[in-house]
Structure 1
Amino acid sequence: MPKTYFIKTYGCQMNAADSAKLEGVLESAGYQKIRGSGSGDQESGYQDADIILVNTCVVRQNAEDRAAWFIQSLKGQKKVNPNLKIGLCGCLAPEPERNLKEQFPHVDFFIPPNSPEKLEEILKHDSHTSSPIPQTGMGDGVWGKRKASFVSIMHGCDNFCSYCVVPYVRGREFSRPMAEVLAEVKGLIEQGATDITLLGQNVNSYKYGLANMLREVGKLFLLPVTRYSLRFMTSHPKDMTDEIIETVAELPYVVKDFHLPVQSGDDEILRRMNRGYTIEYYLDRVKKIRSLRPQARISTDMMVGFPGETDEQFENSLKLINEVGFTMVNMFAYSTRPQTAAAKMPDQAPEEIKQARLQKLIAVVREVVRMI
């Protein structure tokens, strides 16, 4: 009877892409996937798995807490089945100043982000593995036979936004060679993929040019190219160049979606966040997009309760929501992240103020989206 696995994923699409790679390693080793029932943290069915991987996120406290709760809940499962292997993966694994083995003694191994080869090494030394595991490597990334596929074109981040822990847990920015990425995309197309998303913490700063990448991927599509959809995420507003906007507007297979996380509608807050742009610049990017593609969908992220945020500065964020008319807004309250500059800033907002502002923001966004 084949061994089985279950992967629980928290966080962004980069984590989803990492989980797909881990799936590929496990299936190459002869494991079969267990599909849980239910959703979110109430998902079940994983109890019969031989190996459970929890792919964690630490960008926000809520995601970290949920992942930690799920990992702790597996302690009882380990007692029921001592042969169960539990792996903690993702951004929690390399988090500095944290003794994870002490916090989670029932976890068997830890795998940092974007490291499927670590799982290969673990399985090779695992007596449960009865057949040799083929070498996969990051460039062999045909990790599943889905119509929709994620392809990482870069990893890490060099921006060091004052509230963000990503550079500390995913490392500095590294762009994969274009030839390597294109080989992966070609493999996915040959397996039937028609919807491809290029991923990175900041794809706009891809070393070899995001606009060039969008064009080169199009050359791999079979005719007619309009049956394909090409997307990219996540973008940083400061690196959203005219060239990228014009290329997206021009190429028929690139989906006209622009996710531009603004984070705040106030210039002083943006400066303290170390975002590298002003609201005037941001609105210029929006104007450029709509001048070429009036029907383009523009979405964003908005944070409330950043240290020192005044009522007036919060109101500026609400004004921006109304002015731009976003099609979708990811909304969240600021949460302190270890090692970040914002964690050391004075005037940390009380939780009740953050939650009150978040509820007001939600109400404004609902009304704006309803009117679009």
Structure 2
Amino acid sequence: MKAAFYTLGCKVNQYEAQILEQLFSAAGYEIVPHTEPADVYVINSCTVTATGDQKTRRMLRHLKSQNPDAVVALTGCYPQAFPHAADRLPEADVVTGARGRERLAALVERARATGERIVDIRPHERGESFEPMRAEQFSERTRAFVKIEDGCERYCAYCIIPTARGPVRSKKPDELRAELEGLAKAGYREAVLVGINLSCYGKDLGLRLIDAVELACSVEGIERVRLGSLEPELLTDGDIERMSRQPKLCPQFHLSLQSGCDATLKRMNRHYDAAEYARIAGSLRRHFDNCAVTTDIMVGFPGEDEAEFAQSLAFAEEIALAKAHVFAYSRRPGTRAADMPGQVPRAVKEARSARMIETTLRTRAAFLAAQVGSRQPVLFESRTADGMQEGYTPNYTPVRVRADEPLAGSIREVRIVSAHGDWCEGELPSQPSTAVNQKEGAL
């Protein structure tokens, strides 16, 4: 028996897809790419945007038309947020939501044995616990993503995720330690802690995110700990100071901005203003040497006029982001923003996206240029198409070097010699240095 998986969306979704692969493998399935013939296809959906829903429906139709005798299962955020819409998709033989992943393999087996169509979407409940799951391996052999939090209760005006993911719940510390120790024994050098609203980790346990960070950094064999996307206003100065005492914690922080205009942020129901965001970014930069602040920026939110966009654009340049994911607002049925007045025309959103991207590419280039002349520990991961070997510094600068020896999986000190577009080129020093992450002139 063969099973194939197709996953859309965030790192949490990718982590959960890995858990599903482990469950199906334990049930006797051989895991194959979704482009190959299989007995079962599982689509792990994302519903952040309406475009994500469209991709899910297209893939459902494609897989069923190409493999009419296979069982096709739809799971994840889309059916959880829109159960009635998912129930009406005839190509899906099994439909489940974002809860109870441990049941999916059994439901698929039932559908294969009986031929019945199964819809089993269980609503979220107050007080539900963190779903037990422990990743054992990933296709990427150097970095492991570890889901430590699920759910969100922030209710941003544009976001359907609180409906799809339910209340905040967190992985218990002993479960987190056991998972990290297993990954370390499997050879992973870096652990990335991820969650739907990662900053809320521990709310249900009487803990805070810093507690998970300190625990992860204490695990022998894990040499780097990195954080996923963060809601900025939940990072206190005390937490940042405690984080700065952990030498394993990577100085790269993805603080979700969305807009640099206070009026826009208020309509979005974000819980900070531009000044607070700048203060938190400044605190991180004071506490972490050579710190990278990255973000997401939305343009064209309902009611955003040219003056508001200009404020957001100026803030993005002023805050000197190391990298930004810029995207246009997409109307999401089921959210408050979908019915707000002042919907911005598509052409205007596209023009603003282009201007914001141009600005953030300039700040990105300045950040990469500032890395030139430094020596950095690089965790190597892969080869590029032209034969160079690529990895990442602690602050997530992509670095490529030319070397005959295989470097994947190793952490090597590299001297950064130039910046090219979205990456830096480096050289392996002929003699090991006694210091890393310092400017050459300071050695």
TM-score by length of 2: 0.74
Question: Counterpart of 1:39?
Answer: none
Question: Counterpart of 1:216?
Answer: 215
Question: Counterpart of 2:132?
Answer: 139
5+ residue gaps, structure 2: 114-129, 368-443
Q: 1: CA distance between counterparts of 2:195 and 2:4?
A: 25
Identical positions, percent:
29
Question: Counterpart of 2:359?
Answer: 364
Please give the residue correspondences for 1:273-312 in structure 2 after superposition, counting only pairs within 5 Å. Answer: 273-312=268-307
Q: Per-residue CA shift, 1:65-85, capped at 9, x if unaligned?
A: 222222221231233xx1x11
Shift of 1:63: 2.5
Q: Per-residue CA shift, 1:290-339, capped at 9, x if unaligned?
A: 11224111100000110000101101111111111111111111111122
Question: Counterpart of 2:25?
Answer: 27
Question: Counterpart of 1:40?
Answer: none
Task: Report SS of the residue matched to 2:244.
Answer: helix
Q: 1:112 aligns with which of 71, 90, 97?
A: 97
Does the 8 A contact of 2:168 with 2:200 survive in 1?
no
Question: Counterpart of 2:434?
Answer: none
Q: 2: CA distance between counterparts of 1:7 and 1:244?
A: 38
Shift of 1:60: 1.8
Q: Which has the higher contact order (CA 8 A, sep 6+)?
A: 1
Runs of 4+ in structure 1 off by over 4 angstroms are none
Give the RMSD, CA atoms, in angstroms.
1.9
Shift of 1:184: 1.8
Shift of 1:249: 2.1
Are 1:65 and 2:58 counterparts?
A: no
5+ residue gaps, structure 1: 37-44, 129-136
Q: Per-residue CA shift, 1:268-307, capped at 9, x if unaligned?
A: 1111111110111010001111112241111000001100
Q: Per-residue CA shift, 1:47-99, capped at 9, x if unaligned?
A: x11111111111123322222222221231233xx1x1111121111123633
Task: Report SS of the residue matched to 1:335.
Answer: coil
Shift of 1:115: 3.2
More helix per residue? 1
Tell me: CA distance 1:355–1:54, structure 2 relative to 1, closer, same or farther (3 Å): same
Does the 8 A contact of 1:333 with 1:354 survive in 2?
yes
Task: Report SS of the residue matched to 2:309.
Answer: helix
Tell me: CA distance 1:216–1:97, structure 2 relative to 1, closer, same or farther (3 Å): closer
Task: Report SS of the residue matched to 2:293.
Answer: strand
Question: Counterpart of 1:132?
Answer: none
Amino acid at match of 1:78: N
Shift of 1:147: 3.5
Moved more, 138-147 or 301-310: 138-147
Amino acid at match of 2:64: K
Q: Per-residue CA shift, 1:144-175, capped at 9, x if unaligned?
A: 26432222111110100111110011111112
Shift of 1:261: 0.8
Amino acid at match of 1:177: K
Question: Counterpart of 1:133?
Answer: none
Task: Report SS of the residue matched to 2:178.
Answer: helix
Q: Per-residue CA shift, 1:124-154, capped at 9, x if unaligned?
A: 53667xxxxxxxx943513426432222111
Does the 8 A contact of 1:199 with 1:234 survive in 2?
yes
More strand per residue? 2
